[in-house]
Amino acid sequence: MPTIAHLDADAFYVSVELLRRPDLAGRPVVVSGSGPRAVVTTASYEARRFGVHSAIPASRARRLCPQAVFLQPDFDEYRRVSRAMWAVVRARVAAVEVMGLDEAYLDLDGIERPRAAMRALVEEIRAATGITCSVGIGPNKLVAKVASDAEKPAGFVALSREQAAARFAGERPSLVPGIGPKTAERLESMGFATIGALADAPDEILVGEFGPRLGPWLRRRARFEDHSPVVTEHIAVSESRETTFPTDVGDRGEMEDILRRLAADLCQDLARKRRQGRTIAIKVRLDDFTTITRARTIPAATNDIAEVGDMACRLLAEYDPPRPVRLLGVRVAGFAEPEPPVEEPQLALPL
């Protein structure tokens, strides 16, 4: 069984700000944009006590906590600190899948005493960058992710799959990454208001409501079953479609619809050009401008709309965007050698 850790910096943007503004330590600090539709990007734990959380409107945060210090995000600085963090991690762990500026999955396979190693790593990150992290450790990415979030800040939680299922059985399904608020609402109206209830939900009811892919997937998530690998490589690609949204998308079902539309558009174009590829990839840009690609190579080249769409949705589920998404793209690459041009019929030599 693999051992996977999820490493997640605590209130990352605020923590970076406090490194250069130590006078603000202990005060409610909120990082948010300033426009009329701006939302909170990160709130310090002091601000969270007033009900200020990520993604609420900045105007509401000002009402809830007028004494808070509001700062504009400085992504250049966040990226600089983030790079320093991951340099420390990569020096110790070979397989690192960075999910955003402040979180990553680590495959601890082959690392002796993984818990002790992670405690040492957290300390090393703090010494090198001043950033505090929470850690979750489990047999898969899903357990690790939920565990890292369970006792923030400076949390350190290691759970088996069974322990995770038992510990979070009474929580709402939206605690599980990948189950968005809309899906959680639908589940609740169906009588599945907790992770435990969803884990025991009959297959046919879930399939009836969510379809043959999403339905069983939701229940597997509630059981903390997850076989997605820690993926580190990026593959160069060649034909793609992508789209940026007017407002960030947080709902998995909506993201899947968009990926399938992009796949259909791309595949129709490939079919016209008589091209087929073996590598299918997605591109995801989060609301903090983190951009990732994920790719998988299949045995036979394709330009089939359903096949490319299915794989794109699977890659999305495996990546499991940790924040709302502002851009999605689909690519097909690894094209088979183009057919040799049809020989021109030999012209009869003039006599």
The active-site residue out of 103, 209, 242, 318 is 103
* Six token digits for residue 130: 């001043």
- Stretch of 5-13, 37-45, 140-148, 196-204 contacting Mg ion, by CB under 5 A: 5-13
Q: Could you say which DSSP state residue 266 is in?
A: H
Residue nearer to Mg ion on the CB measure, 8 or 46 = 8
Task: Pick the closer one to Mg ion by CB: 43 or 218.
Answer: 43
Output the CA torsion 45→140→106→182 (10° steps): -50
Residues forming a β-bridge with 57 = 39
Least CB distance to Mg ion at residue 25 (A):
18
- Sign of the alpha-carbon torsion through 50, 16, 74, 105: negative
Query: How far apart are CB 297 and Mg ion at their closest, in Å?
Result: 32
# residues contacting Mg ion (CB under 5 A) = 4
**Please, which residue, 207 or 289, has the CB nearer to Mg ion?**
289
The answer to whether residue 242 is catalytic is no
| Shorter beta-carbon distance to Mg ion: residue 156 or 160 | 156
287 binds Mg ion, rule: CB under 5 A: no
* DSSP for residue 339: P
- Which 139-198 positions form the footprint of Mg ion (CB under 5 A)? none
Give Cβ neighbours of residue 299 (< 8 Å, ≥ 6 apart): 278
Q: Which is nearer to Mg ion, 65 or 131 (CB)?
A: 131
The least CB distance from residue 9 to Mg ion, in Å, is: 5
Q: Which stretch binds Mg ion (CB under 5 A): 7-15, 25-33, 60-68, 270-278?
A: 7-15
Q: Pick from 8, 107, 226, 287: which binds Mg ion (CB under 5 A)?
A: 8
Nearest approach, Cβ of 66 to Mg ion (angstroms)?
26
100's CB contacts (< 8 A; 6+ apart) are: 286, 288, 290, 322, 323
Least distance (Å) from Mg ion to the CB of residue 81?
12
- β-strand pairing of 29-32 with 40-43: antiparallel
How is residue 334 written in tokens? 């690894």
With b for 16 or more beta-carbon neighbours within 10 A and e for fewer, the 243-273 pattern comes to: eebeebbbebeebbebbbebbbebbeebeee
Task: Give me the least distance between CB of 80 and Mg ion, in Å please.
Answer: 17
Between 153 and 216, CB nearer to Mg ion: 153
Structure tokens belonging to residue 257: 């619809």
Choose which of 17, 97, 102, 256 interacts with Mg ion (CB under 5 A). Answer: 102
Look up residue 11 and give its two tokens: 């209130």
* Rounded distance between C-alpha atoms, residue 330 and residue 270, angstroms: 13
Strands (E) across 161-286 are located at 239-249, 277-286
Choices 11-19, 121-129, 198-206, 237-245; region in contact with Mg ion by CB under 5 A: 11-19
- Spatial separation of the C-alpha atoms in residues 221 and 270, rounded to whole Å: 34
Question: Using CA of residue 30, residue 35, residue 38, residue 41, what is the dihedral sign?
Answer: negative
* Interface segment toward Mg ion; rule CB under 5 A; list 9-17, 26-34, 221-229, 333-341: 9-17
- Strand (E) or helix (H) holding 12: helix 12-20
Whose tokens are 């969510």? That residue is 210
Residue 256 or 288 with smaller CB distance to Mg ion: 288
Minimum CB distance to Mg ion, residue 202 (Å) = 36
Residues in contact with Mg ion, shown as a per-residue x/- string from 62 to 101 under the rule CB under 5 A: ----------------------------------------
Q: What does the binding site for Mg ion look like in residue numbers (CB under 5 A)?
A: 8-9, 12, 102
- Indicate which residues carry an active-site annotation: 103
